[in-house]
A and B are shown apart, each in its own frame.
Chain A
Amino acid sequence: MSEQNKPEKDKFSGVETTGHEWDGIKELNNPAPRWWLLVFIICIIWSIGYWILFPAWPTIAANTKGILGWSTKQELSDNQRDLQAIRGKFAEQLAATPLQDIANDPQLFEYARQAGLASFKTNCAACHGSGAAGGNGYPNLNDDDWLWGGKLDDIYHSIKVGIRSTHKDTRFSQMPSFGKDGVLKPDEIKDVASYVEQLHKGSAAETNEATARGAKIFADNCVACHGATGGGDRNQGAPRLNDAIWLYGGDKKSIIASVTNAHAGVMPTWEGRLDDDTIKALAIYVHSLGGGEK
């Protein structure tokens, strides 16, 4: 018996075997250092402490809560509360500072710009695009052409009251449907479209009989709003026609369509839906895109 209790030694390596044998192969016992085992046991004890302190085990209805009461949701709301505290200072400042003076404080300006950017992505990007580049029928806010003015106050006012919106002070631009309502005949519309096309292409476009006839029709029907040279009128939201920027396309076909049917884009009023500080921040952001006017 005593011989059995003595560990067997492997002849070749001199290492004792564990007594486990399989198909004649015996497992050698090369023990790991004891502190390894201790570290492993400490890790197990640590994990038990963890189960007690933090949410860990799923149960049928929910999960164990842990005695510290910690949860990711609680942590999130704590973080958000902290964030509000940080923003609070700037939010108050933004509310107290007149629109024109916000740029005097670079830190406040940057805060307003970022707040405006965030609000833009949520509220405006659906029509104007996430980069504010607009699209057919939706104005590009990056460029230097403005229907209702590109100064800070103009932009602020446009956001506030909207276009053809439900706001009592809302703005309208009213282009008659010259073709649909029978004011002009199809041939006349073709002529005036040739003239308008020539207006924005400048000297590059050819002048012929059609454009000459169109000029006369333009003078009779369009100058009241679009101006004698097609410069537009921001007071009525009449687009400038002698530049390269077109809301509904600048080729002849598009112009004919516009004159025949007219367009009436809508922008909602944001007063009441967004607070005044957010509208201010939006105005700052849109103005800072590169087309803002002084």
Chain B
Amino acid sequence: MTDKSLSEADAPKIKFFEKARRIYPKDITGTFRRLKWAVMAVLLAIYYFTPFIRFDRGPHVPSQAILIDMEGRRAYFFMFEIWSQEVYYFAGILILAALFLFFATSLFGRVWCGYACPQTVWTDLFVKVEHFIQGDHVARQRLDKGQWNFNKIWRKVVTHILWIVIGAATGGAWTLYFTDAPTLIDQIIHLSVPWQTQIWIYALTASTYIMAGFAREQVCAYMCPYARFQSGMFDRGTLIISYDKERGEPRGSHKKGDSWDNRGACVDCNACVQVCPVGIDIRNGLQYQCIACGLCIDACNDIMDKVGLPGNLIRYDTANNQEARAACHSKGEVFKEKNHLLRPRTIYYVCVMTLVCAIMLYSLLGRAPFTLNVLHERNPLFVTLSDGSVRNSYKIHILNRNLHDQTFALSVNGVDVKSIKILAATEVEPEKLGVLADSVGEFRVTVAAELPSKEVRRDIEFVIRSTSDGSEARTKTMFIGKAQ
């Protein structure tokens, strides 16, 4: 280290924080752009209309097909009803979603990011609004650099108003999943939305506006954790967006009528860079910012069409293919493309997904309409009664998932029962434990029984039998006696 490099005056001027570079994606038409619009239409339709699907569940329970009832601590998904203590089903759904993401990534790269991710969908929508009001990329750049005048002001104001409207529609629709949708719409029309719901609508409106309007590709590059580990799901058989170097290089501009000999097909028009929503040059190879949306393919095919060359200079291709093509080319052989979608990796993912699905379905479909939880009281463990028998206390919970009120008869197996009593304000017979529809009944139960004096502990079983259809639920617990 030298003194010179430390001196203040000589130190180079360095920026330690970089101003975000604004990206002005060019509008483009083509196969993948059309596919993106179609996917967006389908996803937005699902998002906005799902809360309005009705599903009749009887009188006590909300009849919204998909509803997360925070207050009632229930989640409804068509015929399935998830109670708060069964959140592991959500864990299962998340595991499935993650596996599907891995699977899709190992097949087609970052396609989730390019087509289905909400960040992409809403950014796309916002860019389209921008394009509609302010013109295409060059016009937008000129407008941003230009002086503030009436033209600039009204275009900016209208853009931001439209963004906020879309943001509000997004945030509003999200709350529909947590409350009765028609009621909320009615409340919105009459401006009588509860303040709790209002806060969520405002917060989600703001986040949509900021994320899709301003943060955009920075979310994908800096914030999204998925961008960081997705390369772990790639292998050499994954279809990634790739520029065909063999055919494209050396690149250079080309005049009509000139020969194509001794040069590559890439005319260095930069169309692929201009349309890219994350602002990268795909010709530099695979980069972590690439969201595999395929807009550069559309742009390049458009140009190739114009200069009269075959398309697909940029396309979804595998690393294996690129290598094999290069090898064949150097040997002068004809290259035959091979795409192995079935690879050990994808087969693993399919197997694991199937397994998780099977476990979830088995567990969901085999779920009893009611269950019994028993808790043995420990203080005191047991009580000796006048006649020498022993009494144990239990707290039992009956979870009635049925949509009708039910009565249960309680019995105890495995011990010579003298009496079963329900401790409550008013007398309750153990043969008639009433539990309301879709709720939990809690009872304090004492069981008195004779135990041989040397026996300290015995495994017993609580059984509840529905008095309407005779179906049963059982739970094992223990009966404690005195040590003598």
Residue ranges of A at the interface with B (Cβ–Cβ < 8 Å): 1, 4-8, 16-19, 21-23, 29, 31-37, 102-106, 109-110, 129-133, 140, 142-145, 240, 243-245, 288-291
Are B222 and A33 touching (Cβ within 8 A)? yes
From residue A193, how far is it (CB to closest CB) to chain B in Å? 19
Known: A33-B20, A290-B391. A131 touches B386 (CB 8 A): no
B365 on the A face (CB < 8 A): no
Known: A21-B5, A240-B386, A290-B421. A142 touches B380 (CB 8 A): yes
B residues within 8 A CB of A131? 377-380
Given A142-B391, A243-B388, A244-B387, 15 extra CB contacts under 8 A: A5-B12, A7-B14, A16-B12, A18-B14, A19-B12, A23-B1, A31-B15, A31-B17, A31-B18, A36-B17, A104-B426, A133-B379, A133-B380, A144-B385, A145-B385
**Complex formed: what's the CA distance from A59 to B138 in Å?**
60
Interface residues on B, range: 20 to 34
Are B388 and A244 touching (Cβ within 8 A)? yes
- Tally the A-B contacts, defined by beta carbons under 8 Å: 108
**Complex formed: what's the CA distance from A289 to B383 in Å?**
11
From residue A179, how far is it (CB to closest CB) to chain B in Å? 27
Are A144 and B423 touching (Cβ within 8 A)? no
Q: Secondary structure of the A side of the interface?
A: loop
Contacting A140 at CB < 8 Å: which of B13, B383, B393? B383
A residues within 8 A CB of B423? 288-290
Known: A4-B12, A6-B12, A144-B386. A34 touches B19 (CB 8 A): yes
B425 on the A face (CB < 8 A): yes
Contacting A145 at CB < 8 Å: which of B5, B15, B386? B386
Residue ranges of B at the interface with A (Cβ–Cβ < 8 Å): 1, 5, 10-20, 218, 222, 377-380, 383-388, 391, 393, 421, 423-426, 446
* Chain B minimum-CB-distance residue to A131: B379
Contacting B17 at CB < 8 Å: which of A32, A130, A145? A32
From residue B72, how far is it (CB to closest CB) to chain A in Å? 20
Are A290 and B393 touching (Cβ within 8 A)? yes
**Complex formed: what's the CA distance from A209 to B386 in Å?**
27
**Complex formed: what's the CA distance from A110 to B393 in Å?**
18
Jot down 5 A-B pairs with beta carbons below 8 A, ordered by A.
A5-B12, A7-B13, A34-B18, A290-B393, A290-B421
* Chain A minimum-CB-distance residue to B424: A106
Are A34 and B425 touching (Cβ within 8 A)? no
**Complex formed: what's the CA distance from A131 to B393 in Å?**
11
Are A8 and B12 touching (Cβ within 8 A)? yes
Contacting A16 at CB < 8 Å: which of B5, B11, B14, B218? B14
From residue A48, how far is it (CB to closest CB) to chain B in Å? 21
A residues within 8 A CB of B19? 33-34
A residues within 8 A CB of B386? 143-145, 240, 243-245
Contacting B16 at CB < 8 Å: which of A29, A105, A145, A291? A29
Known: A5-B13, A33-B222. A143 touches B5 (CB 8 A): no
**Complex formed: what's the CA distance from A143 to B17 in Å?**
76
**Complex formed: what's the CA distance from A60 to B17 in Å?**
40
Are B17 and A33 touching (Cβ within 8 A)? yes
Are B17 and A245 touching (Cβ within 8 A)? no
Known: A32-B17, A34-B19, A106-B426. A7 touches B12 (CB 8 A): yes
**Complex formed: what's the CA distance from A249 to B332 in Å?**
105
Are A34 and B384 touching (Cβ within 8 A)? no
B residues within 8 A CB of A243? 386-388
From residue B22, how far is it (CB to closest CB) to chain A in Å? 12
A residues within 8 A CB of B424? 106
Are B380 and A244 touching (Cβ within 8 A)? no
**Complex formed: what's the CA distance from A34 to B222 in Å?**
12
**Complex formed: what's the CA distance from A140 to B379 in Å?**
12
From residue A104, how far is it (CB to closest CB) to chain B in Å? 7
**Complex formed: what's the CA distance from A290 to B424 in Å?**
10
Known: A33-B222, A133-B380. A19 touches B14 (CB 8 A): yes
B residues within 8 A CB of A103? 425-426
Are A129 and B380 touching (Cβ within 8 A)? yes
A residues within 8 A CB of B380? 129, 131-133, 140, 142
B residues within 8 A CB of A17? 12
A residues within 8 A CB of B1? 21-23
